[in-house]
Structure 1
């Protein structure tokens, strides 16, 4: 029964999957991943390649190439054990496959290795992974607005993601953070993001390193009353992030989102009562002021980044 449900779900989402996979980044990455396989197996081309097979068949893998491919499979499986989203699984496959292809092409022919490496570098510079463009309740900060917004109202709790557009981990985490904002955003619990790859001063001010070696991207910081209360991942004495998995369940548990949301709903109701008392005491004809609806979440809108 579970298999049938899974197949039905796959078929239902098949048009969306095709639309997602047909984006230029995934198409080019796929061909770069299978490049050595195509070269080694294409009739008319493989006959002219060098080989270390005893039978001299240059259209089949030799023992060293099989070892490299098996090692690649083991590495991808180990890395994907901690992957959360489909984007992370695909990203690990593409990255390590390209590394393996570089080794295989250099071993086959130095000229082919240099050509493949140049193409890889060109694609990295010109073809970026697609950014998440779905619905979200997220405020995008700049270096000039983040401090002011966090300190505007001491009753508001903020969960802010510090990210960089070049980080694949940040790009993979974007749908999860957006989904959390849709579930938990309210007047007393807000979600924000700041691109510290763009605003270096913010990175230094909040002590979030952008170095790939530090592995602090993305970082989630919880602010209450304008002050940082906690962050994930935590940072050790050497400035390196303690390993932490950015799953939705981990974030809900570590940041006590359910409890924070319940407290924030009470804050919403308190604000609503005050507004109603003010309107009853001073009625104005033709007033078009909107009162906050505390029982229903806001409708999702597309966020705009501060410039």
Structure 2
């Protein structure tokens, strides 16, 4: 996504609202007249506890967004909103319990009324509505290679990866090289069968698996010999390299199928 498109995204209600929430405590605490009224004090400087929380927040955002593979301005913002809102919640509760409750209610209402925008551009992705539909399609014609993304709608890394996967599908999709997605938040049986955790602390989201002849060939992220997940940056170039998409595309292109249409359940 270009910088110009990132700027356009910033003007969407979701981003405006969450940016305001993320800076709410800092701005109000540093505005003299507003600070005096809201906090009933003449001291509008950050105390030691507030400084520690804000410093810790900066460190957490820097580490977590990098691990999530955030490489654009919008990616960084999407990945950091959860941490900034939690930090603000702690600060507001520390300042005044009632203001903390009000801030918590605002967060909940914002999540309900202003969900994060999802990718709505062109794609050639098949969305599976259950593990049975996926399994049936993998078994239906084993000459078809499938690149499947296991994701959840609420995970920022999955949201950030959606336009990349969509672009790859339009570039590489063939009758015998197809792209699919399954929401393991809605269909946890799929996550359980293919060993992809959908917990809020999961480091497996998203997970992309290449299936050939109905069997798993490659997945990212993958685990090392100790069972520890190896960090993987879900960029377009990394996906192409990890799954050998260019070579796979050329191979499938020269072995076309006849009248192959997926059946999605």
**Pair in the same fold by TM > 0.5:** yes
Q: Does structure 2 conserve the Cα–Cα contact (< 8 Å) formed by 1:50 and 1:108? A: no
Shift of 1:116: 1.3
Q: Does structure 2 conserve the Cα–Cα contact (< 8 Å) formed by 1:162 and 1:195? A: yes
Q: Tell me whether 1:40 sits opposite 2:29 in the alignment.
A: yes
Point out which structure has higher relative CO (alpha carbons under 8 A, 6+ apart): 2
Q: Tell me whether 1:30 sits opposite 2:15 in the alignment.
A: no
Point out where structure 2 has 5 or more consecutive residues left out of the alignment. none
Q: Tell me whether 1:87 sits opposite 2:74 in the alignment.
A: yes
Q: Give secondary structure in 2 for the equivalent of 1:34.
A: helix
Structure 1 residues 212 and 63: CA distance shift in structure 2, 3 A: closer
Q: Does structure 1 conserve the Cα–Cα contact (< 8 Å) formed by 2:144 and 2:175? A: yes
Distance of 2:50 and 2:226 partners within structure 1? 39
Match of 1:219 in 2: 207
Q: Does structure 2 conserve the Cα–Cα contact (< 8 Å) formed by 1:69 and 1:100? A: yes
The one of 110, 120, 126 equivalent to 1:139 is: 126
Structure 1 residues 247 and 18: CA distance shift in structure 2, 3 A: closer
Shift of 1:17: 4.1
Distance of 1:237 and 1:122 partners within structure 2? 44
Match of 1:184 in 2: 172
Distance of 1:181 and 1:86 partners within structure 2? 24
Match of 1:74 in 2: 59
Shift of 1:90: 0.3
CA deviation vs aligned residue, 1:50-90 (integer Å, no higher than 9, x gap): 56xxxxx4233334433332332233223333423433300
Q: Does structure 1 conserve the Cα–Cα contact (< 8 Å) formed by 2:29 and 2:44? A: yes
Shift of 1:246: 1.6
Point out where structure 1 has 5 or more consecutive residues left out of the alignment. 1-8, 52-56, 276-290, 292-304
Distance of 2:247 and 2:6 partners within structure 1? 36
- Could you tell me the TM-score, scaled by structure 1's length? 0.74
Q: Tell me whether 1:113 sits opposite 2:113 in the alignment.
A: no
Distance of 1:238 and 1:128 partners within structure 2? 38
Q: Tell me whether 1:65 sits opposite 2:50 in the alignment.
A: yes
> Considering only CA atoms, is the larger Rg found in Structure 1 or Structure 2?
1
Structure 1 residues 125 and 255: CA distance shift in structure 2, 3 A: same
**How many residues were matched structurally?**
258
Shift of 1:21: 1.6
Distance of 1:209 and 1:80 partners within structure 2? 19
- Could you tell me the TM-score, scaled by structure 2's length? 0.84
